[in-house]
Amino acid sequence: MMDAEYDVIVIGGGPAGSTAAALLAEYGHKVLLLERETMPRYHIGESLIPYTWFTLNRLGLLDKMQQSANPKKYSVQFVSIAGKVSQPFYFFQTIKHECAVTWQVLRSDFDVMLLDNAREKGAEVRQGVTVRDVLMEGSRVVGVRADLKDGARGTEIRAKVVVDASGRDSLLSRKFNWKDRDPDLNKIAIWSYFKGSARAPGVDEGATTVAYIPDKGWFWHVPLPDDIVSVGVVAEPAYLYRETRDPNEIFAREVRDCVWIHDRVKQGEQVEPVRVTGEFSYYSRQIGGDGFCLAGDAYSFLDPLFSSGVFLALKSGEMAADAIHAGLETGDVSAHHFDEYLEQQQQAVASFRSLVRAFYDLTFSFREFLDEYPHLHGAIVDTLVGNVFNDLTPLYEALSTFSQREARAEITTTTA
């Protein structure tokens, strides 16, 4: 039996929800986490970036991560369309901190670890429960209406605060019509898993590889435990659907055509069905209201080029927990209480987005950009590793000036 009232109800037991629930329970609040699925469940989003270390450390999970079978990720490398491999970008060359070594994770296991941690810290965790809506009194959210595992529908459970961590379902930003798509990042992803494909030795074994395909599309190649590798392609729908709409055919064609990927996976065996997702990048115009806030993908989702999703989910779960705790202490959890949280999340997402958009801009070259702005090398590295909660305005401004000028030069050349 669930109680009729809690301090906090968290919707969703992914990285954002489990982090918020664990920290709020640790603060001493009475927390209920409701997860629709029964864990372990499948999820995409397997490559971490260095600054996830800090939230995992606060959650007390670094020992578990060290002891896990997750491949250690020291670097990212890029492969040209012709198959030429760049020098790997090793995080330890720029970060003199333990966080420079991060992980590739099997999300089903990683998410169980996070959810168990929330439970161990005192949160009540209910799986197989689908939240249908929130309860409102005027503009204030005062709880949720959920379908329970035993079949009871529309059960009302009250709370002082509700956290929407429902991921790409975005329960509350849809309800309040806050969700905006990013028209410049209209991509789709098609992916699967291979067992027994070729792996680099030693320190490069767990590297993420980004392999370019034409029209600024790209493949990810992410080594996972048990000799499995996650392989997926991201590109414009018009490019991927140019001959057929059958995802199996598209995936097979793109793997065959990408020299580096094909060389790796040809000796392995595809062990999972092909999966597809669209609706790529979006964000919510608000992050909270009276008695509620959003965290993780429920707030914003960005193209996975730089593996920012789990980092932002963990970090926003942490920030949401701190903001809610402060609010519960003073008895004020009204909308304005989440203003600073919104500002910080907007800034973090904007940092990643500025680099993602530059990558997809056909006139943009990172090498030429850095020739002109060598002093911004550090700001780019900061973004790639997740050090994004500081002022990166000079980077955005320079990227914007550079891109506009390159675009103008392109137009002039084309029309001359």
Q: What is the spatial distance between Cα 381 and Cα 210, in angstroms, rounded to a whole number?
A: 16
| Part in contact with ligand FAD (CB under 6 A); list of ranges 92-100, 310-318, 367-375, 377-385 | 310-318
Residue type at 402?
Answer: F
* 219 within 8 A of 190, measured Cβ to Cβ: no
Site residues (CB under 6 A) for ligand FAD, limited to 16-75: 16-17, 34-37, 43-47
Q: Should residue 281 be labelled a site residue for ligand FAD when binding is judged by CB under 6 A?
A: no
| Part in contact with ligand FAD (CB under 6 A); list of ranges 118-126, 161-169, 331-339, 365-373 | 161-169
Q: Should residue 296 be labelled a site residue for ligand FAD when binding is judged by CB under 6 A?
A: yes
Give which of 389, 357, 394 is closest to 374, Cα–Cα.
394
Q: Should residue 13 be labelled a site residue for ligand FAD when binding is judged by CB under 6 A?
A: yes
Nearer to ligand FAD, 192 or 197 (CB): 192
Residue 93's CB is within 10 A of a number of other CB atoms, namely: 12
Site residues (CB under 6 A) for ligand FAD, limited to 211-240: 232
Nearer to ligand FAD, 15 or 223 (CB): 15
Q: Should residue 347 be labelled a site residue for ligand FAD when binding is judged by CB under 6 A?
A: no
User: What tokens were used for 191?
Assistant: 């992916």
Burial class (CB in 10 A: 0-12, 13-18, 19+), 46: buried
Q: Should residue 344 be labelled a site residue for ligand FAD when binding is judged by CB under 6 A?
A: no
**In DSSP terms, which residues pair with 228 in a beta bridge?**
195, 224
- Applying CB under 6 A, among 6, 10, 12, 125 the residue interacting with ligand FAD is 12
Q: How far is CA 212 from the centre of its chain?
A: 21
Burial class (CB in 10 A: 0-12, 13-18, 19+), 390: exposed
CB-hemisphere CA count at 13 Å for 198?
10
Nearer to ligand FAD, 192 or 354 (CB): 192
Q: What is the spatial distance between Cα 394 and Cα 377, in angstroms, rounded to a whole number?
A: 12
Nearer to ligand FAD, 34 or 376 (CB): 34
Contact mark string toward ligand FAD, 90..119, x via CB under 6 A: ------------------------------
- Applying CB under 6 A, among 310, 324, 342, 388 the residue interacting with ligand FAD is 310
CB of 105 to ligand FAD, least distance (A): 9
Task: Give the list of residues 6+ apart from residue 413 with CB closer than 8 angstroms, or none.
Answer: none
Q: Should residue 327 be labelled a site residue for ligand FAD when binding is judged by CB under 6 A?
A: no
CB of 403 to ligand FAD, least distance (A): 25
Q: Should residue 387 be labelled a site residue for ligand FAD when binding is judged by CB under 6 A?
A: no
Respond yes or no on whether the N-terminal peptide bond of residue 40 is cis (omega within 30° of 0).
Answer: yes
Return the SS3 of 233: strand
Q: Which residue has the tokens 């997702």?
A: 277
Nearer to ligand FAD, 140 or 168 (CB): 168
Task: Give the list of residues 6+ apart from residue 110 with CB closer than 8 angstroms, or none.
Answer: 15, 70
| Part in contact with ligand FAD (CB under 6 A); list of ranges 164-172, 177-185, 251-259, 386-394 | 164-172
User: What tokens were used for 324?
Assistant: 């809610």
* 238 within 8 A of 224, measured Cβ to Cβ: no
- Applying CB under 6 A, among 289, 304, 327, 386 the residue interacting with ligand FAD is 304
Q: Should residue 309 be labelled a site residue for ligand FAD when binding is judged by CB under 6 A?
A: yes
CB of 72 to ligand FAD, least distance (A): 15
* 211 within 8 A of 264, measured Cβ to Cβ: no
Q: Should residue 189 be labelled a site residue for ligand FAD when binding is judged by CB under 6 A?
A: yes
Q: Should residue 11 be labelled a site residue for ligand FAD when binding is judged by CB under 6 A?
A: yes
CB of 41 to ligand FAD, least distance (A): 6
Burial class (CB in 10 A: 0-12, 13-18, 19+), 383: buried
Q: Should residue 297 be labelled a site residue for ligand FAD when binding is judged by CB under 6 A?
A: yes
| Secondary structure (DSSP) of 372-410 | H-GGGHHHHHHHHHT--SS--HHHHHHHHHHHHHHHHHH
Q: Should residue 277 be labelled a site residue for ligand FAD when binding is judged by CB under 6 A?
A: yes
CB of 277 to ligand FAD, least distance (A): 5
Q: Nearest 5°: CA angle at 287, between 396 and 161?
A: 150
- Applying CB under 6 A, among 25, 162, 261, 313 the residue interacting with ligand FAD is 313
Query: How many residues line the site for ligand FAD (CB under 6 A)?
Result: 36
Binding site for ligand FAD (CB under 6 A): 11-17, 34-37, 43-47, 130-131, 165-169, 171, 189, 232, 277, 296-298, 304, 307, 309-311, 313
